[in-house]
């Protein structure tokens, strides 16, 4: 480092939640942060596609195309070694931008700190750089909005688990809590359907895929759901609400 | 009803989440729904003050003042009889507007279906009227963003309980789940602090009041918190994160 470099003000790293899919579910704060950022960073798959970037581009239209893009190539995998290598590489590129005093936003589907990859970048961030987080609409909130189904009222409790949990953990949550959301449900769908039956929560459950996106699918009667694996972006919403599911007319959001 | 009335198209009732306090945390969708509504409905206290209206007015500035306002006078109370009477009266006023084909938005702090009063209006809504829900940023997401603290990663589980729950229920959640949010914590603060100690989660906990508002208060070391009641808008965020709380610099949001 030379003297010149040390006079450049340090950059700012911002985790920005862009919500679950509908570009209108960005907050005003997220919109402006993306608009004013020097560098837009996001995860992309091996084909160069990025769901979070797609959401941001659709929300902001043209302006976002003029900023520097930093795609972090990332294979969806349970392999921690490969994932860690990708995050290590990404944070190196981000540090290089922050060192030049740039503001870097990292786009996150849903909320950055709720089951988000942003966590792995934040824990790698050099403490000399400032950071902040802009919350986003979590998928379960968009799901209950689509279902028009109250998740929790008064003394009810609510738990979030994932399809990666053990049978025992999932059953305990279904028996203990009035409302339960099971994230990352797709690949574990047959097992989860069995657990819902075993805990007598099958009739309390709704299943949603690709919430608030064009290919959104909502299944309110799980008898209509096949005992086979589904996509990654899917979840179950289980409630003890007494309100009949058909009480109010649905309006396409 | 006469023939003329039946030719008027039915109105639309929309529950709109305005987030926990910062007007910039409104979604683009909420912003536009409020902007285009005929009638703005909200809860107000006995002094005519409404937190959700304040947030919306600050976000939208002038335009909102030109719409019809429908304040539902509502004393903060655990008395179900008084609350039910207020909701009954409110839905009557809302039905009168919907009958005239108006679009009525009901402003909700945080998310409409997550511990929200909107639920009680939705269950009273006459099924002849269409409804929809626009999700909002829940207080816990704004809290973790302010703390820059990952709530859940990988196989962690997460539960939301309230200060209204029994000791047994709260202790079970603290022991069973990695991350726990305790909502409506203020009035029960001394009891909750004791339960956090008993379950050895005291050091894992952060306390926040009036999140994302001007009078926001964050306490990361609970030894600094008095064993006395606090305000209604307060919560505990408990995590098992290994990331040191001081790892990254905070930037005032």
Question: What DSSP string runs through A128-159?
Answer: TSEEEEE----HHHHHHHHHT---B-TT--EE
Cα separation, A129 vs B196, in Å, equals 33
For residue B1, the model assigns a pLDDT of 43
Do B145 and A112 count as a contact with CB atoms less than 8 A apart? yes
- Region A48-74: mean pLDDT is 81
Structure tokens at B46: 């006995």
In chain B, residues with a C-beta closer than 8 Å to the C-beta of A137 are 27, 135-137
Which of A53, A39, A43, A42 minimizes the C-alpha distance to A99? A39
A252 or B27, which is more confident: B27
Tell me the residues of chain B between 38 and 77 that have a Cβ less than 8 Å away from chain A.
59
In chain A, residues with a C-beta closer than 8 Å to the C-beta of B114 are 141, 144, 151-152
Please measure the distance between the N-terminal and C-terminal CA atoms of chain A and give it in whole angstroms: 53
Question: Regarding beta strands B234-238 and B205-209, do their DSSP bridges make them parallel or antiparallel, or are they unpaired?
Answer: antiparallel
B173 closest CB neighbour out of A26, A123, A157: A157
For residue B6, the model assigns a pLDDT of 53
Cα separation, A20 vs A139, in Å, equals 5
pTM above 0.95, yes or no: no
In chain A, ranges of CATH 3.30.950.10 domains? 140-238
> What CATH number labels A3-137?
3.40.1010.10
Q: Worst-scoring range by mean pLDDT, A74-83, A117-126, B222-231?
A: A74-83
pLDDT band at B77 (very low <50, low <70, confident <90, very high): low
Do B135 and A144 count as a contact with CB atoms less than 8 A apart? yes
Tell me the residues of chain A between 181 and 240 that have a Cβ less than 8 Å away from chain B.
none
The residue of chain B nearest to residue A132, with distances taken between CA atoms, is B251
Check if the beta carbon of residue A50 is closer than 8 Å to that of residue A63.
Answer: no
In chain A, ranges of CATH 3.40.1010.10 domains? 3-137
pLDDT band at B214 (very low <50, low <70, confident <90, very high): confident
Cα separation, B141 vs A110, in Å, equals 10
**Given CA atoms A192, A193, A197, A202 in this order, what sign does their dihedral have?**
positive
In chain A, residues with a C-beta closer than 8 Å to the C-beta of B32 are 24
- Region A24-39: mean pLDDT is 95
Domain spanning B140-238: CATH 3.30.950.10: yes
Do A243 and B31 count as a contact with CB atoms less than 8 A apart? no
For residue B62, the model assigns a pLDDT of 66
pLDDT band at B40 (very low <50, low <70, confident <90, very high): very high
Alpha helix locations (H) across chain B?
3-7, 28-36, 51-60, 80-99, 118-122, 139-147, 167-176, 189-198
Q: What is the ipTM of this complex?
A: 0.88
Do B24 and A28 count as a contact with CB atoms less than 8 A apart? yes
Residue B90 phi/psi, 5° resolution?
-60, -45
- Region B200-214: mean pLDDT is 93
Q: Is the pLDDT of residue A14 over 50?
A: yes
């Amino acid at each position: 480092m030379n003297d010149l470099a040390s006079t450049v003000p340090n950059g700012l790293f911002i985790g920005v939640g862009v919500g679950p899919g509908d570009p209108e579910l960005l907050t005003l704060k997220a919109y402006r942060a993306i608009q004013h950022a020097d560098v837009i960073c996001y995860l992309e798959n091996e084909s160069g596609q990025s769901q979070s970037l797609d959401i941001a581009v659709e929300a902001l239209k043209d302006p976002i195309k003029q900023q520097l893009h930093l795609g972090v190539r990332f294979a969806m995998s349970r392999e921690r070694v490969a994932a860690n290598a990708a995050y290590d590489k990404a944070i190196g590129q981000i540090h290089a931008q922050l060192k030049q005093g740039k503001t870097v936003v990292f786009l996150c589907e849903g909320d950055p700190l709720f089951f988000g990859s942003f966590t792995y970048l934040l824990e790698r961030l050099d403490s000399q750089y400032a950071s902040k987080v802009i919350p986003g609409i979590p998928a379960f909130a968009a799901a209950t909005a689509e279902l028009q189904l109250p998740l929790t009222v008064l003394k009810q409790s609510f738990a979030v688990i994932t399809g990666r949990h053990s049978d025992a953990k999932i059953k305990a949550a279904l028996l203990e809590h009035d409302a339960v959301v099971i994230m990352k449900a797709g690949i574990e769908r047959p097992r989860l359907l069995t657990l819902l039956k075993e805990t007598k929560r099958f009739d309390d459950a709704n299943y949603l895929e690709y919430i608030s996106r064009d290919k959104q699918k909502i299944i309110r009667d799980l008898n209509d759901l096949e005992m086979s694996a589904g996509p990654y972006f899917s979840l179950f919403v289980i409630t003890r609400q007494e309100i009949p599911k058909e009480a109010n007319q649905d309006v396409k959001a």
